Structure 1
Amino acid sequence: MSEAQLGAPPFEVIDKRFAALVNGVAKLERLYTGCRWAEGPAYFAAGRYLVWSDIPNNRIMRWDETDGSVSVFREPSNNTNGHTVDRQGRLVSCEHLGRRVSRTEFDGRITVLADRYQGKKLNSPNDVVVKSDGSVWFTDPAYGIDWDYEGERAESEIGRCNVYRIDPASGDVALVADDFERPNGLAFSPDESKLYIADTGATHVEDGPRHIRVFNVGEGGKLKGGEVFATCTAGLFDGFRVDEDGRIWTSAADGVHCYEPDGTLIGKIRVPEVVANVCFGGLRRNRLFICGTTSLYSYYTLVRGAKTY
């Protein structure tokens, strides 16, 4: 499917700092449409392609940057949600139906990284990042077991929605945060001294959290702090990524919101659908890929994504 240019520059400058980050010539481009709920984009620089989840349709899609073609990367996919690329260039995925975090090896085999905590099944891993030491960090809300739409309804064996770390040497799964209603997207700051985690608890709790919290990352993966970094002004934050200067580019109901490291909302990329997740990619990491409900979009920024993604 050919790319469709969607009108005038889509950005909104709230703080003058944002004007230096957006390209007045670039347009929001729709690269594909036809999903039920697009999520979890991950860009593979070596192959110049992007994969993302179409969760209810139980498939992973693949978009080729060299010719704009779209194909099915994997079907069925165990209702995958978030993806990332590890430091060796392998795909790491959160599976709702499998209730696990898995890795796709170079030969196509699937390795299970985590499916239980203290002998109990995980809920439905949602989003994942890999730190430079090889540790894998993921959130585990219950969206994939709450209903049959994006997984299979089941009781939570753990009884809570937590955030976990997989040790790179032993493979042990450690609990790193247990005070969330529905932990969702997460990302490290460029120097990995901070970890940002979204809480979308408002989906299940009246006046519940719709914010991103920020933690200091200590030795051995210990988290400290957890103050609210920003509260969403349009819908909910879901997935997000960080640019090389530490700004947060996060999904929201009206597009992508950009926050300075001091927590100031400085601007938005307007998208005509509710946005679920984003990632940076392209030859210079300056292309922001956006999963917006039924469609995959992109927009060229004037900044680059952090090298950790």
Structure 2
Amino acid sequence: TYGIDTDYEGDKAESEIGACHVYRADPGTGEIDAVITDMVRPNGLAFSLDESKLYVVDTGRTHGAQNPAHMRVFNVDKGGKKVSGEKVFADCAAGLFDGFRLDDQGRIWTSAADGIHCYDPDGTLIGRIKVPEVVANCVFGGNKLNCLYIAGTTSLYMVRLMVNGAKTF
């Protein structure tokens, strides 16, 4: 099980470790390891359909203009315990990436300041859905998972697509 540790949610005490990381919890032993320690503000993660890649958004720009606003991709070993070979998957030119989902073809649909951006698994931007407010998250729904629900600043939008969301349950 993978998760993130952020310092920008609600009221908080001072961080004892002084950084935000991506962690892996071993379900067998309960041991928790920091597997990605060089991101400024990890925020949102998902695995590729075959679970060989881990995508993680870094919203570091919320803590300084010099910090990143991008999504990185990591290779995941066969046992799912270690990540390596990280690279920038996509830079966000419109605000920040935040929540994102994969469709059943492995494409990534991610939120941004101007709407939803869709990327091929190789990182090529293939399209945008413009929304008149900042978008925080999205999720596939409907009987065929072909409806993309988009959470804007004050509104909820739904767009029917010619693709289906990845079944993650």
How does the TM-score come out when normalised to structure 2? 0.94
In structure 2, what is the equivalent of residue 139 of structure 1? 4
In structure 2, what is the equivalent of residue 155 of structure 1? 14
In structure 1, what is the equivalent of residue 141 of structure 2? 281
| 1:291 to partner: Cα distance | 1.1
The letter for the 2-side match of 1:180 is M
Q: Which runs of 5+ in 2 are unaligned?
A: none
Q: Which runs of 5+ in 1 are unaligned?
A: 1-135, 145-150
Residue 166 of structure 1 pairs with residue 166 of structure 2: no
Residue 210 of structure 1 pairs with residue 86 of structure 2: no
Q: Aligned match of 2:108 in 237, 240, 248?
A: 248
Q: Distance in 2 between matches of 1:255 and 1:305?
A: 18
Quote the sequence identity (%). Answer: 62
| 1:196 to partner: Cα distance | 0.4
Work out which structure has the larger RCO, using CA pairs closer than 8 Å and 6 or more positions apart in sequence.
1
Residues 303 and 220 (structure 1 numbering): CA distance in 2 closer, same or farther, change over 3 Å?
closer
Q: Distance in 2 between matches of 1:155 and 1:305?
A: 38
Q: Aligned match of 2:131 in 265, 271, 280?
A: 271
| 1:198 to partner: Cα distance | 0.5
In structure 1, what is the equivalent of residue 164 of structure 2? 304
| 1:189 to partner: Cα distance | 0.8
Residue 187 of structure 1 pairs with residue 46 of structure 2: yes
CA contact (8 A) 1:190 1:307 kept: no
| 1:220 to partner: Cα distance | 4.1
How does the TM-score come out when normalised to structure 1? 0.53
The letter for the 1-side match of 2:6 is P
For residues 177-229 of structure 1, the C-alpha deviation after alignment (integer angstroms, 9 at most, x for no partner) is 10100000111111111010000101112321000000011124200111000
CA contact (8 A) 1:257 1:268 kept: yes
| 1:152 to partner: Cα distance | 0.7
| 1:269 to partner: Cα distance | 0.8
**Secondary structure at 1:246 match in 2:** coil
CA contact (8 A) 1:183 1:197 kept: yes
**Secondary structure at 1:207 match in 2:** coil
Q: Distance in 2 between matches of 1:296 and 1:238?
A: 16
| 1:256 to partner: Cα distance | 0.3
In structure 2, what is the equivalent of residue 196 of structure 1? 55
Question: Whose Rg is larger?
Answer: 1
Residues 201 and 284 (structure 1 numbering): CA distance in 2 closer, same or farther, change over 3 Å?
same
**Secondary structure at 2:135 match in 1:** coil
The letter for the 2-side match of 1:251 is S
The letter for the 2-side match of 1:158 is I
Q: Aligned match of 2:88 in 208, 228, 232?
A: 228
Q: Distance in 2 between matches of 1:308 and 1:153?
A: 32
| 1:153 to partner: Cα distance | 3.5
In structure 1, what is the equivalent of residue 36 of structure 2? 177
Q: Distance in 2 between matches of 1:280 and 1:161?
A: 28
Residue 258 of structure 1 pairs with residue 118 of structure 2: yes
4+ runs deviating over 4 angstroms: none
| 1:154 to partner: Cα distance | 2.1
Q: Distance in 1 between matches of 2:128 and 2:83?
A: 30
The letter for the 2-side match of 1:260 is D
CA contact (8 A) 1:200 1:236 kept: yes
Q: Distance in 2 between matches of 1:301 and 1:184?
A: 26
